[in-house]
Structure 1
Amino acid sequence: MKEIKSNYRIIRIDGADDLNLNIVSEKLEEGLESIKFKITSENPIYMPKVTISWKQPIIDIHSYWYPTAFRNKAFHADWARGFFSKATISAPVSCLYNANGQNRHTCAFSDALNTVNINVGVHEEDGTFECKIVLFTELSKKTHEYEGELRIDTRDIPFYESLKDVSKWWETFKKYKTAFVPEAARQPMYSTWYSFHQELKDYEIEKQCSIAKKLGCEAVIVDDGWQTEDNNRGYAYCGDWKVSSKRISDMKEHVKRVHDMGLKYLLWYSVPFVGLYSEVWNRFKDKLLGYDEILKTGVLDPRYPEVREYLISIYENAVAEWDLDGLKLDFVDEFDLPYDKKDNYNEFMDFESVQEAVDCLLSSVIEKLRFIKPDIMIEFRQRYIGPYMRKYGNMFRVTDCPNDPITNRIGSMDIRLLCGNTAAHSDMLMWNTDDTVESAALQFINILFSVPQLSMRFENLPQEHFKMISFWLRFWKQHRDVLLDGRLIPYYPALNYPVIVSSTEEQYLAAVYADFVVHLGKEANKNIILVNGTLKNKLYVEIENDLGHRKMEVLNCMGEVVKKENINLGKGVLIVDIPVSGIAYIK
């Protein structure tokens, strides 16, 4: 083990004793430091497992955030496994913060390609966090050199500012150059998954598209089912990617009809899967990372050039032949090298590292598709939302959480904290049509700060529900600048963001999801919009400075005006009467 004294702490490096190790610590500013290290070997080797560790006193720290924590913001134990990050899973960053959401310890690592294990766990004996970053837990490739950089931030700033700075830091590396984000990627979309699953028919899709366009959607994502007549939700027939004529009689003409409605068209692919009953099974059955007996599908091994060339050609031909505007590339986190195949590298592969092969595959996909269509859209789903994925795609969607508005809110906020200008999309909205219109509206209200995706059969909606979704889509498009591009403040992360505020020079918009007091500070001296995301008829507002007399207009969840009045926003706590799932405009 080697120890060095950085600016603020002792850093331990374990596992590299037989290698050459060079470490440089740099203080970037008060509370922010960088530790760069380089491991070298005289000859190319498989790097041994290396652990970088340090301690952080548990002082004024009350909760823990990492990219795939979702609802669980609890502390980990030092003996726990922590979480793993690689190109197609999560991101190498975690944040400890206090009950007010102030950063106390954010650590991030520069290598988002290879598998990295991060464990920030409570050490019971001395009341500290034992912080560990473990490298080379998965066999990668023989090399004689490895470089990495550890960033530790203990500045007293909001947790979201610390995470935003990590995202900007990653952007400074050339290897993380982000994909262009077309305007269409930031517009509401209709998805077929929850509304149709695999029971697709071209004329039914077009029927929904026609209504979706009138409501304000600008694209459709046609999900699983277009390539198979099987309705079992498995992947046994994936791999050929030929259109099922029983689903879509003529794909090119179908896409053209949707285009004529004014909508963009995106198509789903499960990237790594080649099904047992596909025509190409025999071609690729010996070029697999693994096989799933339940799903009846193999996971292709991208280390084979033939595999990558096949997949790239599938996507190129589809975009060129059918005039597609984008692809939804699914299950890329399944590219994983099982331990029992760690020694199976052979002469027909051109990569030893699975992750480097995935990088080559996905980098080539977006490069080739942008040559055909410069504003191509590529969607990835949460967990694959790290800095490498921003190279390959321009849309990150919340993981599947049907009919679950709270998880949708949490997921969209977690994405936004790190995604920079990459478009953050909600999971597709769906709900039970027998629910009250106010309860159904919560599905939309909880994802206001992301790009909405809808997945309902519009003709099955009660009239009130249709009126509600029409209103909220209009509201979202009208206020998109503040919702997507404003100064975002997600309060109380330990409680899963019960209050979210975003503001511009012209507007201050606060959405409240629980019985919390909304604090209106100095920045609220502008047009104010209060969104009631609770099932109560009032919100509590604390006013820091006397904002004087204002005009207020109150709307219900369907956009109907229920009240207009003059109010006095004097200093102190004010109760504002707003219907359940309603809005108050204060000008």
Structure 2
Amino acid sequence: MLLEDYASVMAPAVTGIPGVEVTIGTGCRVIGKQSLGELEITTIETDGELIRVSLEVPLGDIEGYWYPNASMRALPADWSGRDKTSIISSSPLGCVYDRHCKAILAFCFDQQIEESQLRFGVSEEHKSFVIYYEHDPKGPRTIRLATARAGLDHAEAVGLLRDWLRDDIGEPLPVPFAGTVPVYCTWYAYAQNIDAEKIERDAALATALGCKAVIIDDGWQKLATGRWYAGCGDWMADPQKFPDMRGHIDRLHGLGLSVILWVAPLLLGEKSDAYARLKPFAPYHNADGWRASALDPRYREVREHFVATCIRLIRDYGVDGLKIDFLDGVVAYQGTPTGGDIPDVGQALHATLQQLKTELKAAGLDEALIEFRQAYVGPATAPYANLLRVGDCPVDANQNRRATVNMRMIAAGQVIHSDPTVWDHRAGAEPAARQLLNAYFSVPQVSMDLSSLPAVQRDAVQAVLQNWMEDRETVLFGEVSAGLPSEGYPVVQARHQGRLVVGVYQPLVVEIDLDGVTELRLLNATSHERIVVRWTGKSRRLSGIAHSARGDVGMPLEVDTEGLTELSIPVSGIATLSVLNE
């Protein structure tokens, strides 16, 4: 169906990409081909006509299609698969893979800033998988298509494409140590019902549990009530909740915590003092969702407001960084006319972020922590945000894990943060630990009313975070493997400098290779009190201990790595093993 939809405006193209049928728009032409290691680069030119490219591969032993905004449905039909990409949403990158997790077709286009459209899926008529890419250049333009060699591991192929894109975007924003340590976040704990006393009380408890940073989320600003955003626009602290915001931040710093402040500088509420001045630049009103309007960054006045707001908050309140939310709200303006000086929404937001980065540096604030949220997490964001957070998925531990792995594959130097973990405070230690174990391969965030947390759950949080800090270098910066995206990454492994961390999330046989490993950490996030391991490589002797979710019960483990081994590890527990004969 998809091929037939565009047949009249497409023509075959000679690209030399093995095993891939390529067609391009009739107003386009191939002007260059280059081999670059495992990548093939094809350059396509247009005099102003729509850039259209289709890629078709036989189904073979296909398992799924991965892309940054992917859902759990691995193989859509070609009439249903769609993705809009720009700097504020996803990335023009994808990978068709087989059941052995090998790439059948991995590709990307180098247009990361402006809006592009992708359609994709299984062609019922042709028994093939088809990708269709379209971009309106609004003038003469060249665009490059990169494809990775078929047969590479899916994650390796995506990584090569990510790194190729990164070469075009400039230096990533440095990540300070404060962006790589556990975080206490106020959002799921209290929503907008926060104040200085409540945060300082919980911050002291969070420090004792192992958190080293705090996010003051939505609710600190004036007129922040009722969960909505009609008061947004002024970005001043609520004088009732935070009578001395700078003093409050200083007291949090005194606890040894870095502080990140939530802000949504592109939201404008009708109750704000800024509303009358900025309303001409915010025609889109989201009555059912935000109950506020979205400022259009295509106007210079909006970009200046955005940058000035961010600089002022960091400077005046002394925070260490900002959690910048709802940037993706401006997708409502894509393809619409504007009276602004930049016609494309993606280009306008890119200009906004460039200006913010420049002015942060000029103000001596270039080491600020800047957090972006899924789905504006593509490689193009790397120069402007050093922290990328999983999109909202409260209590959905599996989605937190899946999104963490997906985002790690496209992060271009940024550190991934989990969505804040939350659980039922009445449910015991295991559910609390399980949430954190699913966030283990990112920077874990915790968001509970810590003052009412029972002792067993405080112990569980402290135990997991203590282990996580020991594994921090491995899980954040090590080599990660996670298997098939279509299976939701039931086993995740990270290796770094002799340490191997293995998270097991489904009760299946786990293959572990101990080559070069001196320390092994096993996370049992399954519902069973055991993990079954098939050891590969030469036989070794392991010795260690398995702790319960609460961390208070230790069971000795002595293991000979011969064939299959059943290891007794409590539900939501952690085992630590040393290799005795490496």
Matched, 1:251 2:262: no
Query: 1:225-274 CA distances to partner (integer Å, 9 max, x unpaired)?
Result: 11134422111110011211111011111111111111111111112111
Matched, 1:366 2:354: no
Q: Structure 1: how far apart are the matches of 2:223 and 2:82?
A: 41
Matched, 1:28 2:36: yes
Q: Tell me the equivalent position of 2:7.
A: none
- Alignment map for 1:27-426 (pairs within 5 Å): 27-29=35-37, 32-40=39-47, 47-70=48-71, 72-136=72-136, 142-143=138-139, 145-173=140-168, 175-294=169-288, 295-336=290-331, 338=333, 342-345=336-339, 349-370=340-361, 371-426=363-418
8 Å Cα contact 2:285-2:293 kept in structure 1: yes
Query: 1:283-330 CA distances to partner (integer Å, 9 max, x unpaired)?
Result: 111112512223331111212212211221112122111111100110
**CA gap 1:333/1:487 in 2 versus in 1, 3 angstroms:** same
SS in 1 for 2:410: coil
8 Å Cα contact 2:418-2:439 kept in structure 1: yes
Query: 1:45-81 CA distances to partner (integer Å, 9 max, x unpaired)?
Result: xx443321121111121111111114x1421222225
SS in 2 for 1:5: coil
Corresponding letter in the other structure for 2:42: I
Q: Which deviates more, 82-91 or 503-512?
A: 503-512
8 Å Cα contact 2:166-2:380 kept in structure 1: no
**CA gap 1:287/1:374 in 2 versus in 1, 3 angstroms:** closer
8 Å Cα contact 1:107-1:151 kept in structure 2: yes
Corresponding letter in the other structure for 1:320: R
Q: Tell me the equivalent position of 1:582.
A: 573
Identity fraction in percent: 29
- TM-superposed CA distance for 1:524, in Å, is 6.2
SS in 2 for 1:383: coil
Q: Tell me the equivalent position of 2:500.
A: 508
Q: Structure 2: how far apart are the matches of 1:286 and 1:229?
A: 22
8 Å Cα contact 1:439-1:535 kept in structure 2: no
Q: Tell me the equivalent position of 1:43.
A: none
Query: 1:496-550 CA distances to partner (integer Å, 9 max, x unpaired)?
Result: 0000111123212211011111112252653222111111111101012342333
Matched, 1:3 2:9: no
SS in 1 for 2:229: coil
- TM-superposed CA distance for 1:190, in Å, is 0.9
8 Å Cα contact 1:556-1:582 kept in structure 2: yes
**CA gap 1:522/1:320 in 2 versus in 1, 3 angstroms:** closer
- TM-superposed CA distance for 1:404, in Å, is 1.3
**CA gap 1:352/1:550 in 2 versus in 1, 3 angstroms:** closer
Q: Structure 2: how far apart are the matches of 1:448 and 1:251?
A: 32
Q: Structure 1: how far apart are the matches of 2:527 and 2:351?
A: 49
SS in 1 for 2:515: helix
**CA gap 1:420/1:352 in 2 versus in 1, 3 angstroms:** closer
8 Å Cα contact 1:38-1:147 kept in structure 2: yes
8 Å Cα contact 2:123-2:129 kept in structure 1: yes
**CA gap 1:240/1:561 in 2 versus in 1, 3 angstroms:** same
8 Å Cα contact 2:201-2:451 kept in structure 1: no
**CA gap 1:352/1:523 in 2 versus in 1, 3 angstroms:** same
Q: Structure 2: how far apart are the matches of 1:444 and 1:91?
A: 28
Q: Which deviates more, 282-291 or 529-538?
A: 282-291
**CA gap 1:478/1:426 in 2 versus in 1, 3 angstroms:** same
Corresponding letter in the other structure for 1:148: I
Q: If the length of structure 1 is used for normalisation, what is the TM-score?
A: 0.93
Q: Which deviates more, 486-495 or 369-378?
A: 369-378
1:552 corresponds, among 544, 549, 568, to: 544
8 Å Cα contact 2:333-2:345 kept in structure 1: no
**CA gap 1:6/1:254 in 2 versus in 1, 3 angstroms:** same
**CA gap 1:147/1:527 in 2 versus in 1, 3 angstroms:** same
8 Å Cα contact 2:265-2:306 kept in structure 1: yes
Corresponding letter in the other structure for 2:252: V
8 Å Cα contact 1:289-1:338 kept in structure 2: no
SS in 2 for 1:388: helix
Query: 1:332-359 CA distances to partner (integer Å, 9 max, x unpaired)?
Result: 01123547x73333xxx32122221111
8 Å Cα contact 2:109-2:145 kept in structure 1: yes
Query: 1:431-462 CA distances to partner (integer Å, 9 max, x unpaired)?
Result: 00111311221101111100011111111111
Q: Structure 2: how far apart are the matches of 1:351 and 1:548?
A: 63
**CA gap 1:392/1:114 in 2 versus in 1, 3 angstroms:** same
Corresponding letter in the other structure for 1:485: F
Q: Tell me the equivalent position of 2:420.
A: 428
Query: 1:477-506 CA distances to partner (integer Å, 9 max, x unpaired)?
Result: 011111112111112321100001111232
Q: Structure 1: how far apart are the matches of 2:223 and 2:297?
A: 27
Q: Which deviates more, 425-434 or 304-313?
A: 304-313
Corresponding letter in the other structure for 1:95: C
- Paired positions, count: 565
Say what the alpha-carbon RMSD is for the aligned residues: 1.8
